[in-house]
Amino acid sequence: MTRLMLLLTLGVLALFSASMLIGPAPVGVGDSLRALFTDTGEPMTLVMREIRLPRAVLAVITGASLGMSGAAMQGYLRNPLAEPGLIGVSSSAALGAVIALQTGAAAAFTLALPLAALGTALIGVMLVMVLAGPRGASLTLILAGIAISALAGALLSLVLNLSPNPFATSEIVFWMMGSLADRSMVHVWLALPLSLFGWILLGSLGRGLDALTLGEDAAGALGIRLPRLRLTLVVGTACVVGAATAVAGAIGFVGLVVPHILRPFVGARPSRLVFASGLGGAALVLAADIAVRLILPDRDLKLGVVMALIGAPLFLHLIYKTRKEFA
Amino acid sequence: MMPLLEVSGLTVLRGDHPVVSNLSFAIGPGECVGLIGPNGAGKTTLLRAALGLLPHQGRSNISDLAIGTRARHAAWMPQTREIAWPIDVEAVIALGRTPWLPRGGSLRPDDRAAVERALSHMDLAPYRRRAANQLSGGEQARVLIARALAQETPLLMADEPIAGLDPAAQIATMQVFGQIAAEGKAVVVSLHDLGLAARHCTRILMLDHGQLVADGPPAEVLTPARLAEVFALRAYYQTGPDGPIFQPLEYLR
């Protein structure tokens, strides 16, 4: 367990460093580092501090958020196919972002898009909580999440449908593919506090998620406060996924695949999986964001697209393995 | 003596229809109580309401406790046997220690000792490293019983814990229940095997249509008239040199 965490931490550090050293500016390792740590007054300092650093930091934040919330959601629902988007946060956030793009607010003011995304994510989650009710089983939460996702999806299509010009439409479509390119430290400062808060909430769920292995009734009789557990899970997920979607767009598969890959290495314990998946998610998004820049450096390949290209085959592999287990 | 479980006027409604109505009884230390009744009599509902897992009217001393205290007073094995992940047997049993762990803390030597006792009670030591959800149904049931035992609460409540176990494991489990009751705890189990109830329980609560129709030692509760009335059964029931022997003989309708 500790060895796995150490390995994952080392992996994240290595990938973070690699991410800092990759970009269109042809600068050596030594010069890059010097530019990062000392203000030489050269443009390279600006490149390192204002372009590559926020990009790498945001990869860590979004990856960790998606991994942790995916593991927590799977643990809560006791279903390996659950993912953080299930409670409607990502689609609600996407709706806000698309409205900001469509109305031109995003072009007028950098933070308009992430703030609009966070706002609609909040509204979406509040609706889900009201629909699911204060008591009640996990099933009502899923149903409420699906309903709100569908509603947000429909409204998003409506915005696209009514889009006045093809440029706005293509901008929206590209945004929805998810990317970490051209982000600034402002995005980091927007996403970090919310994400930190969400990580603390999700990290506090461990004991309850472990007890839920035995079902809701048994967990309740073990002293787990299920309504509070669910509230913590939903608010935590809303914070981290809302923040991640607001700054990076829709990035799928991380929350689904990472917990699945790491589960055997933590003895399948949900509490341990949450932390391991945070590190694993950070590593996966860093790696994918490096791949984006290496494969087609001049074509602005979208992170969400690469992630789906990596994630879908992994998922197929999982299905194949599961099929063998149940055969 | 202070009862470990005391319910009075316990009623659970589903819609307007009472699933159990106005039940009152008290169970004290040393009692191994069998809760019997035909399907749909309200056994599970009674147990869950008494534990505070179900909204109800009337009182239950367990349900009145704060949720954390409650888990240190009563252990519960639900009828639905769920082990969601391939966690090893020892770790599943250790979940029973959850209410006793300090905030954010892990298992202490006392907790490990309780887990070992539970493992040996249910003869599970050879299985300790196996993935619990890949064991057979009966083996999983034994793991979950051990999980409830590891909670080491004064009161143990289990909903059909021995259903699906092989005959030896059924008897072994009932003996363990008898043994922990004899240690001064109380056990309440719902079960359908009236023979095992007659042999191993010190007291039987008979439930029918949500009403408590009989409460007392097995020999007083399992009378031909009640068996015919509640279960539609005729049975052989004698106490000989091998103890009480109960065998259902025919269906009476």
One DSSP character per residue, B139-193 reads HHHHHHHHHHHHT--SEEEEESTTTT--HHHHHHHHHHHHHHHHTT-EEEEE-S-
pLDDT-derived band at A1 (thresholds 50, 70, 90) equals low
Tell me the nearest-neighbour CA distance from A25 into chain B, angstroms: 47
- Dist CA A196 CA A115 (whole Å): 17
Radius of gyration of chain B (CA): 18
What mean pLDDT do residues B139-159 have?
96
Q: Per residue in B177-211, pLDDT tens?
A: 999 999 999 999 999 999 999 999 999 999 999 99
With CB atoms and an 8 Å threshold, state whether B151 touches A213: no
List Cα–Cα distances, A161 to A106, A147, A249, A287, in angstroms: 19, 21, 20, 35
User: Higher-confidence residue: A130 or A168?
Assistant: A130
With CB atoms and an 8 Å threshold, state whether A207 touches B98: yes
CATH at B42: 3.40.50.300
Which residue segment(s) compose the domain that B50 sits in? 5-80+154-251
Radius of gyration of chain A (CA): 20
> Hey, what are B57's tokens?
């009217």
B186: in domain: yes
pLDDT-derived band at A296 (thresholds 50, 70, 90) equals confident
Overall residue count recorded for chain B in this entry: 253
Q: Per residue in B49-99, pLDDT tens?
A: 999 999 999 999 999 999 989 999 999 999 999 999 999 999 999 999 999
B246 pLDDT above the threshold of 70: yes
pLDDT at res. A140? 87
Cα B69 to the chain's mean position, in Å?
Answer: 19
Total of domains in chain B: 1
Quick one: what percent of chain A has pLDDT higher than 90? 52
**Alpha helices per DSSP H over B3-126:** 43-50, 67-73, 89-94, 109-121
Amino acid in position B108 = R
Q: Per residue in B4-18, pLDDT tens?
A: 999 999 999 998 899
pLDDT at res. A326? 63
| Average pLDDT score, chain B | 94
Side-chain half-sphere CA neighbours of B186 within 13 A: 18
B127: in domain: no
B161: in domain: yes
A288 pLDDT above the threshold of 90: yes
What are the chain B neighbours of A268 within 8 Å (beta carbons)?
85-87, 131
- Is A262 an 8 Å CB contact of chain B? no
CB B208 within 8 A of CB B186: no
> Hey, what are A294's tokens?
């290496």
With CB atoms and an 8 Å threshold, state whether A268 touches B98: no
pLDDT at res. A106? 81
Q: Per residue in A228-258, pLDDT tens?
A: 999 999 999 999 999 999 899 889 889 999 9
Candidates B77, B82, B83: best to mutate against A (most CBs of A within 10 A) is B82
pLDDT at res. A136? 60
Query: Where is average pLDDT lowest: A124-128, A280-284, B116-120?
Result: A124-128
Sheet architecture: strand order including B32-36: B74-77, B155-159, B186-190, B32-36, B203-208, B211-216
CB B163 within 8 A of CB B51: no
DSSP state of A86: G
What are the chain A neighbours of B83 within 8 Å (beta carbons)?
213-214
What are the chain B neighbours of A263 within 8 Å (beta carbons)?
85
CB A12 within 8 A of CB A60: yes
With CB atoms and an 8 Å threshold, state whether A213 touches B92: yes
- Dist CA B199 CA B181 (whole Å): 14
pLDDT at res. A327? 57
B140: in domain: no
A51 pLDDT above the threshold of 90: no
B95: in domain: no
pLDDT-derived band at B25 (thresholds 50, 70, 90) equals very high
B98: in domain: no
- Dist CA B37 CA A193 (whole Å): 57
| Average pLDDT score, chain A | 89
- Dist CA B23 CA B44 (whole Å): 13
B147: in domain: no
pLDDT-derived band at A26 (thresholds 50, 70, 90) equals confident
Quick one: what percent of chain A has pLDDT higher than 70? 98
- Is A217 an 8 Å CB contact of chain B? yes
Q: Per residue in B125-138, pLDDT tens?
A: 999 999 999 999 99
pLDDT at res. A310? 87
Residue of chain A minimizing CA distance to B68: A223
B195: in domain: yes
What is the domain partition of chain A in residue ranges? 2-326
For residue B205, the cross-strand partners are: B35, B215
pLDDT-derived band at B42 (thresholds 50, 70, 90) equals very high
> Hey, what are A127's tokens?
């609706």
pLDDT at res. A32? 78
Q: Per residue in B213-226, pLDDT tens?
A: 999 999 999 999 99
pLDDT at res. A300? 81
- Dist CA B72 CA B98 (whole Å): 9
Residue A4: CB atoms within 10 A of its CB come to 16
> b/e for A263-291, b at 16 or more Cβ within 10 A?
bebbbbbbbbbbbbbbbbbbbbbbbbbbb
Q: Per residue in A110-161, pLDDT tens?
A: 788 889 999 999 899 899 988 888 766 788 888 999 999 999 999 999 988 8
Rounded to two decimals, the pTM is 0.92
What mean pLDDT do residues B159-187 have?
95
B169 pLDDT above the threshold of 60: yes
- Is B48 an 8 Å CB contact of chain A? yes
Virtual torsion, Cα A61, A63, A67, A73, nearest 10 deg: 70
Q: Which residues have a Cβ under 8 Å from the Cβ of A238 and sit 6 or more positions away?
A: A87, A89, A121, A122, A125, A198
CB B124 within 8 A of CB B146: yes
Residue A316: CB atoms within 10 A of its CB come to 10
B76: left (phi over 0), alpha (psi -120 to 50) or beta: beta
Q: Class assignment of domain A2-326? A: mainly alpha
- Dist CA B74 CA B51 (whole Å): 8
